[in-house]
Structure 1
Amino acid sequence: MIVSLLYRATRALLSVPAALLRRNTAKHAELLVLQHENTVLR
């Protein structure tokens, strides 16, 4: 029971930075796509 609780707490703590990193990566990818579209449209 305690091990399961520790596992869940650790997993929750580690998922926060992963979600933030994923969000930043998605923003970066979107910027690259928009820059490419801009170049093509010019």
Structure 2
Amino acid sequence: MLLRLFYLALTSMFTLLRLMPISDRDKDAEILALRHQLAVIQRQTDKRKLTWPDRALLAALLHRLPRVRPSSTTADRLA
């Protein structure tokens, strides 16, 4: 129980540190994208493909998110 509490506190701290430099507008866009993805997943109990309006909305919401650029490529890590 104590280990779980420590884990939850640690992950919450890292989440907070990750979200601090992001603007409120970017946070709102990410929340909207995640809510839409959740709604799509909940609707997909029997079908697997996204409809074109779902794809258009996700593309519009994800376009607003900042791009994450890795500091090194996978090839650099293997060398």
Q: TM-score, normalised by structure 1?
A: 0.54
- Which of 20, 27, 40 pairs up with 1:32? 40
Greater gyration radius: 1
Let me know the Cα RMSD of the aligned residues: 1.6
- The corresponding residue for 2:26 is 18
Runs of 4+ in 1 over 3 A off after TM superposition: none
Identity of aligned residues (%): 8
Q: TM-score, normalised by structure 2?
A: 0.30
Work out the number of aligned pairs and report it.
26
If each structure's helix is expressed as a fraction of its own residues, which one has the higher value? 1
Structure 1 counterpart SS, 2:25:
helix
Runs of 5+ unmatched residues, structure 2: 1-20, 47-79
